[in-house]
A and B are shown apart, each in its own frame.
Chain A
Amino acid sequence: DAGVTQSPTHLIKTRGQQVTLRCSPKSGHDTVSWYQQALGQGPQFIFQYYEEEERQRGNFPDRFSGHQFPNYSSELNVNALLLGDSALYLCASSLDDTQYFGPGTRLTVL
């Protein structure tokens, strides 16, 4: 049984560019959440998708958007990248309260 997978593993972008990160949830999980983890900090909640709709959103600007597909996989899009967007982006899938995290995508913005 595959766990949560994310792609790509690492990504380097320049300021102003746009990026798309992808996530496949654990088998049978219908809910996907995205978190941003800056160095030395705890994960910060970006948003959560359930049944292809954004169910809950954290305090992130509209530059951060997402999508969930019928197979429950998800994408995170970030527009107009800023240097401060450099972080580890974690996807987590769940059926209930417990979150199962993927390995993350390390985004570096130059």
Chain B
Amino acid sequence: GQQVMQIPQYQHVQEGEDFTTYCNSSTTLSNIQWYKQRPGGHPVFLIQLVKSGEVKKQKRLTFQFGEAKKNSSLHITATQTTDVGTYFCAGPINSGYALNFGKGTSLLVTP
């Protein structure tokens, strides 16, 4: 079945450093979504990418969707302590509306 893999599993950075997490799917995706889950919280939608090669920015966050629509990345510039949490990528299951999530990348930011 379809698998979504994320690396790294954990990342510990000093505040102000950059951070990148990578997502790879075993199958081509119609779209990819990114979610953030704060410790003790629930996943919160960040963004959806649909087009091949698409790049979207949200303030210090940059999201990319690969040309083959099988991989994606999230880059955070100059991390802040408010960026702490686990970042998940997710792709549709069998072209439906339900999502197949990766295991996430947990980001810890030290002041």
Contacts from A to B (Cβ < 8 Å): 31, 33, 35, 40-45, 47-48, 55-56, 58-59, 90, 94, 96-104
Contacts and interface: CB of A to CB of B under 8 A. Distances in A.
Contact of B93 (A40, A56, A90): A56
A72 B94 CA distance: 23
A29 to B, nearest CB: 11
A98 B31 CA distance: 11
Interface of B: 1, 31, 33, 35, 41-45, 48, 88, 90, 92-94, 96-104
Contact of A45 (B35, B88, B100): B100
A99 B45 contact: yes
Contacts, number: 63
A103 B33 CA distance: 19
Q: Which secondary structure dominates where chain B touches chain A?
A: loop
A62 B41 CA distance: 28
Contacts of A55: 96-97
B88 A42 contact: yes
Given A56-B94, A97-B92, A102-B42, 4 more contacts: A43-B99, A44-B101, A56-B98, A94-B97
Contacts of B90: 42
Contact of A98 (B48, B96, B103): B48
A33 to B, nearest CB: 5
